[in-house]
């Protein structure tokens, strides 16, 4: 009995402390209609914590549509580029916040081989390479809501089945994406897949961030970036890795110490900057592939104080500085998105790994499921 009384007292104290500080004991999850795409009903799944962080996920593309985050002035803004209307994600696709699969990034010529058999994927990248799954990738599918729960950590689980031969990929693939949000500002995303025959899988999220707030007039090039990597994978004119791991030391690709993105993005003396029209490259993380998520990148907006840390179990991270945003897309709030208006940090296996034996393999076999766990960790530097 004494233990029960003590437990009740402790819980009452925790509740009082929570109410006094204005925070919630649990993060909340909810769902609302979001419209239709090609006649299919789409929903918005909303995860909210007591610290002012709110994530909205569309069942179309398992897309992270919005991420509200407070700054040091207490103002909460949406830090993700994207659209207000779900139909724009279908009619004007630009990978804003989507779940990318089966294979994130590029595969040269859309070709790869497994066990001596050649496969051809759609070439949807300037008619040269397969990009982000090619054809009708995971970002253009309607996902099923498996579960949605509030609790100490709010959770939304979405599922999709990709049939054998989908966009040229072998094997029936059963996929889930799990979004979680806790009271510390950790937005977790876990990708899981199992196949009935050998295939390749490389999934990630393609959120494009502006920590000053999407559509802010100064863009994101003043953000300060850190990437703990001694090397990156240089690319050819078609943005396919050459297979080399090139040291970053002495180059504009060295982000081992915090540095403004703007400081190197227009350095035309570096041929890699010319190839990518700026930064659009994969960094080989010093940590390699890990069992639990470890730091892949840290991004800070010095003005608002917002900080984003990206953690992953994967060995690489693609840093893309919105080089192909050309002002023709009208995003949230009627904002025109231009080059440098947002930054993507995409944890991944290396691009074109199926054709580069020296890179960590993206092969997935029956009985050996695929798993990638990543975290977007938000905080405020005051």
Which tops the pLDDT comparison, 9 or 193?
A: 193
Per-residue model confidence (pLDDT) at position 26: 83
Per-residue model confidence (pLDDT) at position 28: 97
Per-residue model confidence (pLDDT) at position 25: 54
The mean pLDDT of 224-249, rounded to a whole number, is 98
Cβ–Cβ under 8 Å, residues 172 and 196: yes
275-292: pLDDT as tens digits = 999 999 999 999 999 999
> Nearest-5° angle of CA 319, CA 93, CA 148?
85
Q: Distance between CA 271 and CA 234 in Å, rounded?
A: 10
Q: Is 206 a catalytic residue?
A: yes
Lowest-confidence pick of 14-18, 131-135, 243-247, 311-315:
14-18
Could you say which of 183, 300, 314, 346 is catalytic? 346
The mean pLDDT of 325-349, rounded to a whole number, is 96
Q: Distance between CA 154 and CA 194 in Å, rounded?
A: 25
Residue 265 above 50 pLDDT? yes
User: Is 161 exposed, middle or buried, given 0-12, 13-18 or 19+ CB atoms closer than 10 A?
Assistant: exposed
Residue 109 above 90 pLDDT? yes
The mean pLDDT of 362-380, rounded to a whole number, is 98
What is the per-residue DSSP string for 146-167? EEEE-BSEEEEEEEEEE-TTGG
The mean pLDDT of 126-138, rounded to a whole number, is 94
Residue 224 above 90 pLDDT? yes
Cα 24 → chain centroid:
27
Per-residue model confidence (pLDDT) at position 2: 37
pLDDT band per the 50, 70, 90 thresholds, residue 20? very low
Residue 316 above 60 pLDDT? yes
Residue 7 above 60 pLDDT? no
What mean pLDDT, rounded, does the chain reach? 93
Per-residue model confidence (pLDDT) at position 135: 83
Q: Distance between CA 99 and CA 79 in Å, rounded?
A: 17
Q: What share of the chain is helix, strand, coil (3-state, %, to 5)?
A: 15, 45, 45
Q: Is 132 a catalytic residue?
A: no
Could you say which of 132, 206, 281, 372 is catalytic? 206
- The H or E element spanning position 329 is strand 326-330
Q: pLDDT exceeding 70 applies to what percent of the chain?
A: 93
Q: pLDDT exceeding 90 applies to what percent of the chain?
A: 92
Tokens describing residue 153: 């950590």
Neighbours of 260 (CB within 10 A): 14
The mean pLDDT of 241-267, rounded to a whole number, is 97
The mean pLDDT of 307-322, rounded to a whole number, is 98
The mean pLDDT of 244-258, rounded to a whole number, is 98
Task: Please name each of the domains of the chain with its CATH number.
Answer: 28-380 (2.70.98.10)
Residue 5 above 90 pLDDT? no
The mean pLDDT of 31-44, rounded to a whole number, is 97
pLDDT band per the 50, 70, 90 thresholds, residue 114? very high
């Amino acid at each position: 009995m004494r233990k029960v009384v003590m437990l009740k007292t402790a819980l009452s104290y925790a509740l009082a402390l929570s109410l006094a500080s204005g925070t919630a004991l649990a993060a909340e999850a909810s769902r609302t209609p979001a419209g239709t795409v090609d006649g299919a009903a789409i929903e918005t799944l909303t995860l909210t914590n007591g610290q002012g962080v709110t994530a909205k996920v569309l069942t179309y593309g398992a897309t992270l549509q919005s991420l509200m985050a407070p700054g040091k002035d207490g103002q909460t803004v949406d830090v993700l580029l994207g659209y207000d209307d779900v139909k724009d994600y279908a009619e004007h696709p630009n990978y804003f916040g989507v779940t990318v699969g089966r294979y994130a990034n590029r595969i040269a010529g859309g070709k790869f081989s497994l066990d001596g058999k050649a496969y051809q994927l759609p070439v949807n990248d300037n008619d040269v390479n397969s990009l982000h799954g090619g054809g009708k990738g995971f970002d253009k599918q309607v996902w099923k809501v498996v579960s949605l729960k509030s609790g100490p950590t709010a959770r939304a689980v979405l599922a999709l089945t990709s049939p054998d031969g989908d966009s040229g990929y072998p094997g029936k693939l059963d996929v889930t994406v799990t979004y979680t949000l806790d009271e510390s500002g950790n937005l977790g995303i876990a990708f899981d897949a199992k196949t009935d025959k050998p295939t390749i899988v490389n999934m990630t999220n393609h959120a494009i961030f502006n920590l000053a707030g999407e559509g802010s007039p100064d863009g994101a090039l003043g953000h300060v970036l850190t990437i703990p990597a001694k090397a990156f994978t240089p690319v050819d004119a078609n943005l396919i890795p050459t297979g080399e791991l090139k040291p970053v030391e002495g180059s504009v690709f060295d982000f081992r110490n915090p540095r403004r993105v703007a400081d190197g993005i227009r350095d035309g003396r570096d041929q890699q900057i010319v190839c990518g029209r700026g930064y659009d490259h994969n960094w080989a993380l010093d940590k390699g592939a890990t069992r639990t998520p470890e730091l892949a990148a840290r991004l800070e907006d010095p003005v608002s104080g917002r900080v984003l840390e990206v953690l992953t179990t994967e060995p690489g991270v693609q840093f893309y500085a919105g080089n192909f945003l050309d002002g023709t897309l009208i995003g949230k709030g009627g904002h025109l998105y231009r080059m440098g208006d947002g930054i993507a940090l995409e944890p991944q296996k290396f691009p074109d790994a199926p054709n580069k034996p020296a890179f960590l393999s993206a092969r997935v076999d029956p009985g050996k499921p695929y798993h990638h766990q990543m975290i977007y960790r938000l905080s405020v530097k005051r």
